[in-house]
Structure 1
Amino acid sequence: MEACMRKILIVDDDSGVRGLLSAIIRRKGGFNVLEAASLAEASPLCAENQFDLVFLDHLLNDGIGWEIARMISIDPQKYGNPVIIAMSGSVSQETAVGSGINYSKFMPKPFVVSEIEDIIGRIPG
């Protein structure tokens, strides 16, 4: 059963944000949700899984979270082609666009629950 579940990765150093996103997603059902608090935690998870959706915070304790998006885009054969949601409470969408990061959507913090539900509702599966 779990093999058929869509996979979502949440990368944020704020455990409250990870917990809230995870709860919203799990409430919808049909998703295997993994969480990472740092680049060091996220990188091996990406190497071991092909995610359908990745929520990436901008500023993490050990670097810029959007580096995960770069890593994924360099080798889609290895990492798949997930929908990537860039999140930040500290930078604007214009800054995110100018960063050259390949993401599907920018989501400022604090986020709106209905926006999260809309995003996960569009993930095929």
Structure 2
Amino acid sequence: MGIFAQLQALFRTPTPPPTPVAPPKVAASMAPVGEERRQRPRVNAREGTRVLIIDDSKTILTVLRKFLRSAGYETSEALDAESGLASLPSQRPELIFLDIVLPGMNGFAALRAIRRDPATRDIPVIMMSGNEQAMEQFFGSRISADDFMKKPFSRQEMFFHIERLLDDQQIPRRAAARHAEA
């Protein structure tokens, strides 16, 4: 051992071992996505729930399709808002994942079209974006989306957002519709 190392050892104060800190207790209904969420069973929508995914990223479409189908959901996909809106009468989705940044019509315009149509206005919509500015614009404008999911997202996050929209029969409902029934 060199002189410098001996001096360091001589003047170093021993540090006590770290004491474990328990994570704060969080109510199950307020549990954030993550470890606390995994401690309780996931609540899925009923088997066969129809979900429309509108996103221009084939990767996002594939990931959402895989996550949803593995839990018994039926999915349909569209690469742009126009084709997604055109498919609504035939697909009759019960939940829509809608990207904000799309080619042609953006997600905000598509959401306005969904809300203006009496046949689709009650479908819950989860908006998605990886663009920080779009997220700020979403919260700032307070348009009538039912939830927002930031990309990239995990499987647990996706199911957390769906679970927040389920009613007592495990059917996705708009927040306003759930409060009106109560």
Stretches of structure 1 lacking an aligned partner (at least 5 in a row): none
- Letter in structure 2 aligned against 1:25: L
- Letter in structure 2 aligned against 1:15: K
Q: Which residue of 2 aligns with 1:23?
A: 66
Q: Which moved more, 1:17-26 or 1:48-57?
A: 48-57
Q: Distance in 1 between matches of 2:162 and 2:90?
A: 22
Residue 82 of structure 1, CA deviation: 1.7
The two structures have a TM-score, normalised by structure 2, of: 0.59
Q: Distance in 1 between matches of 2:139 and 2:162?
A: 22
The two structures have a TM-score, normalised by structure 1, of: 0.83
8 A Cα contact 1:18 1:35, kept in partner: yes
Selected match of 1:106 from 140, 148, 162: 148
8 A Cα contact 2:51 2:75, kept in partner: yes
Identity of matched residues, % = 28
Aligned partner of residue 111 in structure 1, secondary structure:
coil
Aligned residues: 120
- Letter in structure 2 aligned against 1:88: S
8 A Cα contact 2:52 2:95, kept in partner: yes
Q: Which residue of 1 aligns with 2:116?
A: 74
| Residue correspondence of structure 1 range 4-23 to structure 2 within 5 A | 5-23=48-66
Indicate whether 1:59 and 2:101 are aligned: yes
Aligned partner of residue 144 in structure 2, secondary structure:
coil
Q: Distance in 1 between matches of 2:140 and 2:128?
A: 15
Q: Which residue of 1 aligns with 2:127?
A: 86
8 A Cα contact 2:149 2:158, kept in partner: no
Residue 101 of structure 1, CA deviation: 2.3
Q: Which has the higher contact order (CA 8 A, sep 6+)?
A: 1
